[in-house]
Amino acid sequence: MSKSKLLIALLLIASFCASSAFSQDAPRETPRPLKCVYFTPSDCKPYPDRAERLFRVMTYVQEFYRREMERNGFGPLTFELEEATPGKLKLYEVRAPKPMVEYGRESAWSVRAVVADALKKQGIDVGKEVIVIFQQGLLWKDGKAEEVSSFVGSGSPFNGTAWFYDDPMLDPDKLSSKEPGGYYHRPCSVGEFNSHYIGGIAHELGHALTLPHDCETSVERAALGSALMGGGNHTFGRELRGEGKGAFLTYSEALRLSVVPAISGQTPQRRALDVSLVDLRAKRSGERSVTLTGKIETARPVLGVIVYDDLDSRASDYDAKTWCVRPNEDGTFTVELTEVAPEPSELRVCVVRDVDTQLLFRVALNPDGSKNEFDPIASSMTLRIISTAFSKKDVAALTKLAEKDYANDEAAQTLCRDLVKVLANTNSTALDSPKEAAASDASFNLTNASFTRENVGWSRLTRNAHFDGSLLQVGGRGFASGLSAHAPSVLETSLGRKWKRFEFSYGLQSGSPGSVVFVVRGDGRELFRSAVVKDHDLHTASVDVSNVDVLQLVTEDGGNGNTSDHSLWIEPILTR
């Protein structure tokens, strides 16, 4: 790209920032400062210079955020820190009950539990704070540093936690050093060591402040380097050594940060989702560019819409490019996605409100230039319209959709008609036992079964709808028949040894980022066990239940806790 084109591109980015960002003159409260914790395993001693050195580390990261927020047009916003005395970071000292090796890579939440108990005694509720935990988790031996403990971050609009390593070599004053002595998966300079680990602090703190991964476009890379929430944790500060461009905040990262209480200073608010995406269309505008047009309906003005294009070729979302747009007053927006790769990806649409960032839409795409490359968007929007009518229990709207809007779409028309039947039977309390079904019944739908045991991990068992009343959706399809039972769950009913097969589909509710294992048991014996389900595909199974008296439908968490494990049993049918 020529310098003139690069300059034009950057000017366009700057123009967008200036028109979209918070007014710098708006009243702003002082954010609650981060709570910095020093976690010392039982077999370690805290480093004596930690307060001064970590103050330099955190103020360097603080200044990076401030500088990047200002460059993006939001003014000099950043997080606040507590000082014990001038030049010394206030550290909440926590002595761990176990040695370093007991706090391994997967120990983050157990470490946080120890920290939470210790801070509670000082009147601090970690559920209302953003806390960062420095721990001695690098084990040096023969000049090599092994990463023992966790180095991660996680956050919400109400709280956040980041887990870091501390080491005597960790110091921003050494970022420019080319002297040997560092180690990061290989021998490296002291400066590179600090790039990786101070960059990692900036990156994981981003997660604690609600940021997901994303990466830079080629235009941004040429001008600014690597996105902090992409590969910027590895390039952070390398410009000081003349080794290339360092790290920066993308506009989407800055936009999301601008509404985080630890940055904005506003009081956290729990607000119902008062904005929805009611239209989204895509068209090819170039060999590697796609134009999206859409419309949101919102009770209040929003700050912006962020579109993510996340390639499937990489399991994580580090390669997700982002584009931002501010909707017009009527909620319409148009945004051009550039550098779109001709391979499978996930498209996500988020909206940034004044209090948080919410995911509105996600769909699997394969923008390969084929005639039907954007059909998944149209299909997903159709399901959204149907789901909205179903959630509102609007029989008239569903009937209109079936008879007029989707008269030429057999699948959508059938779904609408089936949902009308579901709503007509909503107030019916009659549930049947498969054991008591008439001998002439060739099949039995377990969504209508009475369960002698009905345990779910969260909320409640829901029939023919998701727990929130929305449409059952898996694999880009909607269903009028099924059971929504958040894992871990057990549903038990008696078959009376009268049925031969159990046929069903299963999966995660669309948009749920959980992981679940589905299990079928007969009289205590395992008849079926799925692999861990963490995709959003629809899976099917057929199980022999001959001579089974007691049938159990079981869901287990996928080994990583049961957060968002919204498991669905779709069209669960017994046959003779």
The answer to whether the predicted template modeling score (pTM) of the entire model surpasses 0.85 is no
- Mean pLDDT confidence for 471-499: 95
Nearest to 63 by CA among 79, 52, 83, 82: 79
Helices marked H in 130-282: 190-208, 218-224, 233-235, 251-257, 261-264
Domain(s) labelled CATH 2.60.40.10 in the chain stretch across 275-373
Condensed to tens digits (0 to 9), the pLDDT of residues 389-445 reads: 999 999 999 999 999 999 999 999 999 999 999 999 877 667 889 999 998 999 999
The reported pLDDT for the residue numbered 445 is: 95
Report whether pLDDT(248) > 70.
yes
Q: Assign domain 434-575 to its CATH superfamily.
A: NPCBM/NEW2 domain (2.60.120.1060)
The reported pLDDT for the residue numbered 28 is: 57
Q: Is 407 helix (H, G, I), strand (E, B) or coil?
A: coil
The reported pLDDT for the residue numbered 13 is: 46
The reported pLDDT for the residue numbered 118 is: 97
pLDDT band at 317 (very low <50, low <70, confident <90, very high): confident
- Mean pLDDT confidence for 120-145: 95
Domain(s) labelled CATH 3.40.390 in the chain stretch across 31-262
The reported pLDDT for the residue numbered 8 is: 38
pLDDT band at 24 (very low <50, low <70, confident <90, very high): very low
- pLDDT above 70 coverage of the chain, percent: 94
Cβ neighbors of 223 (< 8 A, separation 6 or more) are 6, 10
Say how many C-beta atoms besides its own lie within 10 A of residue 265's C-beta.
15
- Name residue 454's beta-bridge partners: 491
Cα distance between residue 380 and residue 364, in whole Å: 10
The reported pLDDT for the residue numbered 3 is: 45
- The lowest-confidence range among 69-83, 114-128, 310-324 is 310-324
Helices marked H in 209-318: 218-224, 233-235, 251-257, 261-264
The overall average pLDDT reported for the chain is 92
Report whether pLDDT(228) > 70.
yes
Condensed to tens digits (0 to 9), the pLDDT of residues 161-211 reads: 999 999 999 999 999 999 999 999 999 999 999 999 999 999 999 999 999
Report whether pLDDT(146) > 90.
yes
- The lowest-confidence range among 102-116, 120-134, 414-428 is 414-428
More confident residue, 232 or 314: 232
Is residue 308 within 8 A of residue 213, CB to CB? The reply is: no
As given in the structure block, the two tokens for residue 539 are: 């899976």
Cα distance between residue 560 and residue 549, in whole Å: 33
The reported pLDDT for the residue numbered 562 is: 84
Cα distance between residue 228 and residue 141, in whole Å: 30
Cα distance between residue 105 and residue 107, in whole Å: 6
The reported pLDDT for the residue numbered 144 is: 96
Cα distance between residue 202 and residue 246, in whole Å: 13
DSSP 467: T
- pLDDT above 90 coverage of the chain, percent: 85
Report whether pLDDT(507) > 70.
yes
Domain(s) labelled CATH 2.60.120.1060 in the chain stretch across 434-575
DSSP 563: T
- Mean pLDDT confidence for 133-156: 95
Residue type present at position 408: N
The reported pLDDT for the residue numbered 11 is: 37
pLDDT band at 315 (very low <50, low <70, confident <90, very high): low
The reported pLDDT for the residue numbered 563 is: 85
- Mean pLDDT confidence for 75-92: 97
Is residue 476 within 8 A of residue 365, CB to CB? The reply is: no
Q: Is 388 helix (H, G, I), strand (E, B) or coil?
A: helix
What is the distance of C-alpha 576 from the center of its chain?
A: 43
Condensed to tens digits (0 to 9), the pLDDT of residues 550-574 reads: 999 999 999 888 888 999 999 999 9
- The lowest-confidence range among 26-30, 434-438, 525-529 is 26-30
The reported pLDDT for the residue numbered 511 is: 78
- Name residue 276's beta-bridge partners: 297
Cα distance between residue 97 and residue 40, in whole Å: 9
Cα distance between residue 467 and residue 419, in whole Å: 16
31-262 sits in which CATH class? alpha beta
The reported pLDDT for the residue numbered 569 is: 98
The reported pLDDT for the residue numbered 1 is: 43
Helices marked H in 34-183: 50-71, 108-120
Report whether pLDDT(15) > 80.
no
CATH topology of domain 275-373: Immunoglobulin-like (2.60.40)
Full 3-state SS string of 88-101: EECEEEEECCCCHH
Report whether pLDDT(96) > 60.
yes
